Amino acid sequence: MTTIQEISRDNISAIAHLATLLWSDTTQEEMLSHFEEVYLSEHPTAFLLKQDQKDIGFIELSVRQDYVEGAEDLPVAYIEGIYVDQSFRKKGLAIQLIHKAEQWARSQGYTQLCSDSELDNIGSVTFHQKDGFEEAGRIICFVKNLN
């Protein structure tokens, strides 16, 4: 049985663990701290995906007030990250997380749900397109160290 739970004190640790699998350059402690802030904040949220009581995925949402490529109205609901365990992929579970995000966004009064992906993450790009997201643009980000 698949369930989706909104972030709570009881599941912050599970969401933080899954986040370290998505963002491998982070630690459990960093993600625990981050999701504690998410839990306590006014608008951002996260949802935990469970299959037969096993923690298998999550989606983190925020509200972006500033410029968002392709957004027609600000603020907008924004997908900061979405992850489903490798062994549970291609079963429509990530789409369930997206639909939960859409419900949340609508309940908050937002008219758009935005997201992004690295240019070379073809799996993510394909996933977004299959779920009805439209590409708004492509960018390459630069940094120049000044020391």
Task: Write out pLDDT tens, residues 57-93.
Answer: 999 999 999 989 888 989 999 999 999 999 999 999 9
Fill in the DSSP letter of residue 10. T
pLDDT classification of 4: cutoffs 50, 70, 90: very high
pTM for the whole structure: 0.90
Task: Name the β-bridge partners of 64.
Answer: 76
Mean pLDDT of 28-56: 95
The mean pLDDT value for 97-123 works out to 94
What would be the CATH architecture of the domain defined by 2-130?
3-Layer(aba) Sandwich (3.40)
Confidence of residue 97 (pLDDT cuts 50, 70, 90): very high
What pLDDT is stored for residue 144 in this prediction?
Answer: 73
Cβ-in-10-Å burial (0-12, 13-18, 19+) of 131 comes to middle
pLDDT reported for residue 26: 97
Angle at 80 between CA 93 and CA 46, to 5 degrees: 60
Kindly list the distances between the CA atom of residue 138 and the CA atoms of 16, 49, 93, 125, 135, in Å, as whole numbers in the listed order: 29, 30, 27, 11, 8
Give me the amino acid identity at 78: Y
Beta strands 76-84 and 113-114, pairing class: parallel
- Mean pLDDT taken over the chain: 94
User: What pLDDT is stored for residue 44 in this prediction?
Assistant: 78
Domain ranges of the chain: 2-130
How far apart are the C-alpha atoms of 63 and 83, rounded to whole Å?
A: 19
Q: What are phi and psi of 50, to 5 degrees?
A: -125, 140
The residues that bridge with 2 in the sheet, in sequence order, are 51
Tokens of 14: 């599970």
| pLDDT (mean) for 116-121 | 90
